[in-house]
Structure 1
Amino acid sequence: MSLIDTATRTADTSLPLLPVLAERWSPRAFDTEAVIDEAKLTAALEAARWSPSANNSQPWRFIVARRGTAAFDTIVANLMGFNQVWAGAAGALVVALAEVADADGNERRWATYDVGQAVAHFSVQAHHEGLHTHQMGGFDPAGLRAAFDLDERFVPVSVTAVGMLGDVDALPAPLRERELAPRTRNALDDILVVNS
């Protein structure tokens, strides 16, 4: 089994970051034999639950499906492109939903932003717990909505694979190359529109 040296995945930052942030990355190689640790998964979900939201509206909902369940297979079937190739090896898949309107039909303008914060908290806590996550936007929202009979107020925003690192050599060549490629980001100066 060939695992990636996680030390080589640490972000090269201009100033030191908390290790849980600098060391977090999004693998595609998950261990197909590892069963998700329920306490660690619950801790990550608790972190999402306690993330901030506009007016404390908490507009997030999650579909949590463990590998080997019908719900997991349904999520995999609604992934697009190469996400279907690797994501089925994860210990669990988590669909993040935004409640874009309240029960009275009033728009929740910041719902998707708040869901993004919840997923970020989830991923950082998961990494702290020794799990790895990979967030995906390549999925069929309409397919998930139909498969899980979701009310129109709930919009699928992302799917997150979560589990333990697996064998990078088990990935097809193009995905293996992406897995082993150096981590890159735009320079800090390039993302600051104004910094006065």
Structure 2
Amino acid sequence: MLPAIERRWSPRAFDPVAEVSAGQMRVLLEAARWAASHGNTQPARFLLGYRGDDTHRRILGALRPRNRTWAHRASALLVGAVVTADERGELPNTVYGLGLAVQNLVLQAVDLGLVTHQIGGFDPDAVRAGFALPDDVLPVVVVAVGHLGNVADLPEELQVRETRPRGRRPLTELVFSGTWGEAAFSAEPADQPEHE
């Protein structure tokens, strides 16, 4: 397995003063741009805000209150959105295309020594209104980007979540062959990466 996949995790503890440069963000978004998509439709679009600017503040304001308790420290916040139609009509598999783009971005961040956290807890209507999104653009996810910070800066309940062991379901529960539920692989080794 690629080391970046094994090292990827989703911390909430971001360094509140470290910055992500425009050059680093360009590399992350280039990685997203080169993701596969259905028929090369490239439906992924992004709104980018750096900590302290108006875009960051508006994206932060669209997050659910619990997510705001830690996401304000992120060096950058991105809204990942999809364009659902083009001149040919409705585009297929747009959310899948955005997922591939975001995964490229996240793994590139690991390679650059950055951390990310993908956030589903936000108000899409607030993003739509706050950024005047066209009707054919659907906001799907917010991604916090930055440098790893101090776990002690998080609320106590999140400190516990931040430090618990990372786990994934075994392949025996995920991959089947022959009939549904019949495992394609035998049991896996117990060693797992340490973070969520």
TM-score of the alignment, normalized to the shorter chain, above 0.5:
yes
Secondary structure of the 2:172 match is: helix
Which whole-Å CA distance do the structure 2 matches of 1:158 and 1:35 have between them? 22
Structure 2: distance between partners of 1:42 and 1:73: 20
Normalised to the residue count of structure 1, the TM-score between the two structures is 0.88
- Separation of aligned partners in 2, 1:156 and 1:142: 9
Shift of 1:93: 0.3
Q: Which residue in 1 is equivalent to 2:10? A: 26
* SS at structure 1 position matched to 2:10: coil
Higher relative contact order (CA 8 A, sep 6+): 1
Indicate the residue corresponding to 1:188 in structure 2.
171
Once the two structures are superposed, residues 21-70 of structure 1 have per-residue CA deviations (whole angstroms, 9 ceiling, x without a partner) of 10110100000011112222211110000111111111111001000011
Equivalent residue for 1:100? 84
Question: Is the partner of 1:162 in helix, strand or coil?
Answer: strand
Q: Aligned ranges for residues 125-164 of structure 1 at < 5 Å? A: 125-164=108-147
Structure 1 partner of 2:72? 88
Distance 1:183 1:60 in 2: 29
Aligned counterpart, 2:28: 44
> Distance between the aligned counterparts of 1:41 and 1:149, measured in 2?
23
Alignment partner, residue 171 of structure 1: 154
Aligned match of 1:8: none
Point out where structure 1 has 5 or more consecutive residues left out of the alignment: 1-16
Is the partner of 1:82 in helix, strand or coil?
A: helix
TM-score (norm 2): 0.88
The AA in structure 2 aligned to 1:35 is E
Identity %: 42
Paired residue type of 2:16: T
Quote the offset at 1:103 in angstroms: 3.9
Give 1:120's match in structure 2, choosing from 91, 103, 111.
103
Structure 1: which amino acid aligns with 2:53?
T
1:56 to 40, 43, 46: 40
After superposition, give the CA deviation of every residue in 1:106-128 in whole Å (9 maximum; x if it has no partner).
21121110000000000000110
Hey, what does 2:57 align to over in structure 1? 73
Aligned length: 179
CA contact (8 A) 2:12 2:70 kept: yes
What is the deviation of 1:185?
A: 1.1
Aligned residues of 2:38 and 2:92 also touching (Cα < 8 A): no
User: Shift of the alpha carbon at 1:100?
Assistant: 1.1
State the Cα deviation string for residues 57-85 of structure 1 (Å, max 9, x = none).
11111001000011111111100141111
Look up the equivalent residue of 1:61 and give its one-letter code: R
Aligned equivalents of 2:17, 2:118: Cα separation in 1: 21
Q: What is the DSSP-based 3-state SS (H/G/I as helix, E as strand, rest coil) of the residue aligned with 1:114?
A: helix
